[in-house]
Amino acid sequence: MFNLTELENFVVKDWPVTFNKPVAGGKVEEVHCTADWQLVTEDELLELTKDDPFAAIKHCLKAVGGMSQTDSNGDEQPLIINKESIEQLMNHAFITVGLNASLYSALGGIQQDASSEVGKKKSATDSQALAQQSEQETASA
């Protein structure tokens, strides 16, 4: 039997994330990793995203798998999620688009398939939202 109470503070582990990393010649490299997402209610999601369409990523992202960073000694270390690393990730629009698609598929209980028509439409919508947000930030600066 499904128990609604189990969804309180529920974290979905190892949810797939796919993004297209731009490479030379106008090509992209498809990157696959995972994320742990804190599920939120529809009301919480609407409140989080009313001023920033990507604020839910900052709130819900708890961990990532398959991503690393280089430490001060030049050694590669697993990426630890904190405010700073989330900001670093979201400084790259192509990563933000992939994270956003993953989050919304987890929230909706929809298996993510970046090659599907739904995934392509969602990515296009996310790209438009990023461009609008960038224009707003530029105009207010």
Q: What is the pLDDT of residue 6?
A: 81
- Is the pLDDT reported for residue 133 higher than 70? no
Nearest to 9 by CA among 42, 30, 40: 40
- Which helix (DSSP H) or strand (DSSP E) does residue 31 occupy? strand 27-38
pTM exceeds 0.85 for this model: no
- Is the pLDDT reported for residue 117 higher than 60? no
Q: What is the pLDDT of residues 66-101, one digit of tens each?
A: 999 999 999 999 999 999 999 999 999 999 999 999
Of 3-12, 89-98, 126-135, the least confident: 126-135
Q: What is the pLDDT of residue 137?
A: 58
Q: What is the pLDDT of residues 17-59, one digit of tens each?
A: 999 999 999 999 999 999 999 999 999 999 999 999 999 999 9
Single-letter residue type at 29: E
Sequence-distant (≥ 6) Cβ neighbours of residue 37 within 8 angstroms: 11, 12, 15, 60, 61, 62, 102, 103, 106, 107
